Each structure stands twice: as structure tokens, then as C-alpha cells.
Amino acid sequence: MRHVGTVAVVVAFALAAGGCGGGDERTGAAASPSPGDTWSLLVTGSATPSPTPSLGVRPSAAATAGLPSANPSCTRVWPPTEPVLIPVAVTPVPGGFRVEWPRQYDSNYRVTAVPQELVAGAQPEPVWKNVPAGTGCTISTTLTGLNSGDPYIVWLDAPNTGRQPDGTRHPYSGRSSVVYPG
């Protein structure tokens, strides 16, 4: 919540009360500002809170925990990422990449490699590869047909990860840093 209106009223009161030479020093009375004076007239108002979306419940710290609890049979440890991102491991292969990520909430996936070279005019639409949910701890796919030595960023989309009880989305996307095919 912002209290700009309250602070402005206190400052205006202090100035009007003669704190900065604005009043008659002999009597302590405040002089009325006249046109051309450097006084500013501030209008009082009421502070209003910033708008926030209402989901019916408030998110808790546990809601932003990220990846689901580890399956004891899964031995790979994924590095932490931003709370909304699924970690993605990208390995260069000739003319492409092998992309691997932890399975998320039985969602289906789609993966693409977006070229990072500058293109004049309209940008080409990325070509997405659809990948089924799978049943293991990790899911992987291979992207091919890319130019060796060109820079790319690999994007992962998991559109059906669903929501937590408080309404926040489970991690539903991931991305690599700039990578180069073999």
C-alpha cells in the first residue's frame, strides 16, 4: 500500500505552519500563498492499494516450491531454476540437440530450437516438436535439421501441468542458454 497522500499532507502542513519562512515570524501565522509564489498546493486524498488478481485463496511459500517431490527411484538431480521453469539439459549432436528434462505432472510437451541470428523483417514461426508425457523420471527428444555452429535457444513447453490448490501454475516451460549444434 502506498502512503503518498498522507506524506504529502504532513509535508504541506509543516510548510504551511511556517517551518520554512512561509509565515509571519513575529506572530507565527502562516501567510497565504499568492500567485507567483513557489508554494505548491497539495490536495489530500486517500491511499489505494495496488490491484492484485484474486484467485479466492492466497498463495503460500509452499506453493512456489517448484518441481514435484523426487521419485525415490529417480537418481538424477536437476539444478534449481526459476520457480516457473522446468530445468532443461541440452546436449549437442550432429545437426541438432538431444534435449532432456524431468517429467512434470503427466503433461504432454513440445520443444523447439529458436535461431539467434538476426533476421530482417518478420521472424519465422518456430517449428515445435510434440513429445508425449512418458512414464519415466525424465523425458528426452532429439531435434535435428539445424545448422552446425549457429546459435540457438531451446524452448520447452508443458501446457498441461495444471495448477496447485491455491491456483498457481505448476512449472510449465523451460529454456536453455544459447547453445550450438554439433
Tell me if 30 is assigned to some domain.
yes
DSSP assigned state of 95: T
Question: Do 113 and 78 form a contact (C-beta atoms < 8 A)?
Answer: no
**d(Cα 169, Cα 87) in Å, to the nearest integer?**
16
Range of the domain at 32: 1-49
**Does residue 168 share a domain with residue 91?**
yes
**Does residue 84 share a domain with residue 2?**
no
**Does residue 86 share a domain with residue 21?**
no
User: Of 6 and 90, which is predicted with more confidence?
Assistant: 90
Q: How many domains does the chain have?
A: 2
The answer on pLDDT for 165 being more than 60 is yes
**Does residue 94 share a domain with residue 8?**
no
The answer on pLDDT for 180 being more than 90 is yes
* Residue-wise pLDDT tens digits, 24-58: 444 445 556 566 666 665 666 666 665 555 444 33
**Does residue 92 share a domain with residue 40?**
no
**Number of CB atoms found within 10 A of residue 156's CB:** 26
| Sheet with strand 129-131: strands edge to edge | 129-131, 109-115, 152-157, 173-179
**Does residue 173 share a domain with residue 83?**
yes
pLDDT for 99 equals 96
Record the cell numbers describing residue 141, joined without a space. 527428444
Tell me if 54 is assigned to some domain.
no
* Residue-wise pLDDT tens digits, 85-140: 889 999 999 999 999 998 878 889 999 999 999 889 998 899 999 999 888 889 99
